[in-house]
Each structure stands twice: as C-alpha cells, then as structure tokens.
C-alpha cells in the first residue's frame, strides 16, 4: 500500500501531462465566413430593369458587385436608395454584410413619355354607308406618330401626326385611290401612366366629305406594347 501511495503523485503528473499534450495536438478547422445576400427592388411609377454583376443569389463575404439600372422607354431612372444611395449608375457595393439596393424609376415628362409601339383596332362607317373594323400599329417617338391606319375599305394610305405633351393626338391621312381623306383625333395615356406597358389610347376618326367621298366616322383604341 505504501508503494502505491508513493506512486500516486507520479501517476497524477503523467496524466496531467498527457491531457495537456492531447490538447496541444488537437486542431479545429476554421469555419467558412457566411454568404451574404443581395436584395434588389424597384420603386416609383416608371419601369425598368436592374442587373447585378456578377449575378448570384448569395455572395462570398467581401465580393464587389456592380449594379446597373436601365429605364424602359417612356421612363427615367432617378437614383438609388438603400445601400446604393448617393451613387452614380451603375453603383458599386461590397458584400461585407447583407445588402439591399432599390432603383427608382419615374414616368418621363414631355412628349417622350408616350414613346413606344401601339397596337390597336378601329371600327366605323364607310363612304358607302357600310360599317367595317380593322387593326393598326403605330410608333410614337418624341411626339411624332407614324404607322398604318386605313379605316377605309381598299385604302393603303399611312397616317402621320403628332402628340402634344398632354398626349392629345392630331393626325391625318391623305386621300387615297378611293378619294377619301381622314382626320383623326384622340388621347394617348396621360403622364400618370405614360411609358407603362399596357397603357391605353383612344380616339375618333372621320372621313372628309368630297365629291368622291361621303362623310363617315368611327372610333379607335390602342394598347402600348
């Protein structure tokens, strides 16, 4: 018993040294830094797109990301909010944490707010007293309207006209082989919805009476692509 008692301190010391050595030899692999998320959004009455480069749903911490905003026709980009606030377009952010960037778009003012392509239909009277319907496509660029609009049987004439800053249309079609000229009036979408896909336009047309054409009238409507 006495010999065991004399060995006990030595055994305890050896045990402590072994535990210490095990602790020194053990290693813990460092954990990877968390991925950071980027949230993109849009605000305002206008429309447009936002593109991040490089494109990803999550980024390694510290990644530099460039974000570009492009306004649709009839809209304008007005600036960034969130983590891109105060920067030019494109803006640059560093993904050191989760980020949120919002692009603001507004409907353009002036005649440019109505720019776009419009597809429509017309329905109304003819010089011979009949009633017909048809389709047309216009382009509007900086207040100038051009395209097909022939609400007369057998006519191949094209229309040209203008749109004011309020969207009021004034246009005409010269007399074709049938001798009928056409005057057209109407209203493109107002500035509150101008430049937005799906905006509507409506109006009327009239055949101008002449020695070869009886007066008649009809209506038209169109939707911006």
Is 118 found in the same domain as 85?
no
What pLDDT is attached to residue 143? 85
* DSSP-assigned letters across all residues of 117-153: EEEEEEEEE-TTS-EEEEEEEEEEETTEEEEE---ST
Of 56, 85, 107, which marks where a domain is finished?
A: 107
Question: What domain range is 49 assigned to?
Answer: 36-107
- The count of domains in the chain is 2
Residue 133 sits in a domain of what CATH number? 2.40.160
* DSSP-assigned letters across all residues of 44-62: SSS-EEEEEES--SEE-TT
What pLDDT is attached to residue 126? 86
Token pair belonging to 96: 């050191």
Point out the residues of the chain with pLDDT beneath 70.
1-30, 74, 108-109, 152-157, 177-178, 190-197
The CA-CA-CA angle for residues 67, 71, 77, to 5°, reads 75
Is 165 found in the same domain as 101?
no
Of 52, 75, 107, which marks where a domain is finished?
A: 107
What pLDDT is attached to residue 218? 92
- 164 lies in some domain: yes
Q: Report pLDDT digits (tens) over 40-81.
A: 999 987 788 999 999 998 999 999 999 999 988 767 888 999
């Amino acid at each position: 018993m006495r010999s065991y008692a004399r060995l006990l301190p030595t055994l305890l010391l050896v045990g402590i040294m072994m535990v210490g050595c095990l602790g020194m030899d053990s290693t813990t692999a460092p954990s990877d830094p968390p991925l950071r998320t980027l949230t993109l959004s849009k605000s305002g009455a206008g429309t447009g797109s936002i593109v991040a480069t490089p494109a990803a749903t999550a980024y390694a911490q510290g990644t530099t990301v460039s974000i570009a905003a492009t306004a649709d026709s009839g809209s304008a980009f007005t600036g960034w909010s969130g983590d891109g606030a105060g920067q030019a377009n494109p803006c640059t952010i560093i993904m050191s944490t989760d980020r949120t960037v919002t692009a603001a778009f507004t409907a353009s003012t002036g005649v440019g707010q109505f720019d776009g392509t419009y597809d429509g239909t017309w329905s109304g009277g003819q010089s011979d007293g009949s009633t017909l319907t048809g389709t047309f496509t216009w382009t509007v660029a900086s207040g100038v309207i051009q395209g097909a609009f022939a609400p007369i049987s057998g006519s191949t004439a094209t229309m040209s006209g203008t749109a004011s800053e309020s969207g009021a249309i004034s246009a005409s079609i010269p007399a074709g082989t049938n001798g009928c000229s056409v005057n057209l009036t109407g209203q493109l979408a107002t500035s509150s919805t101008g430049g937005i896909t799906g905006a509507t336009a409506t109006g009327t047309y009239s055949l101008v009476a002449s020695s070869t054409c009886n007066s008649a009238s009809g209506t038209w409507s169109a939707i911006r692509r």
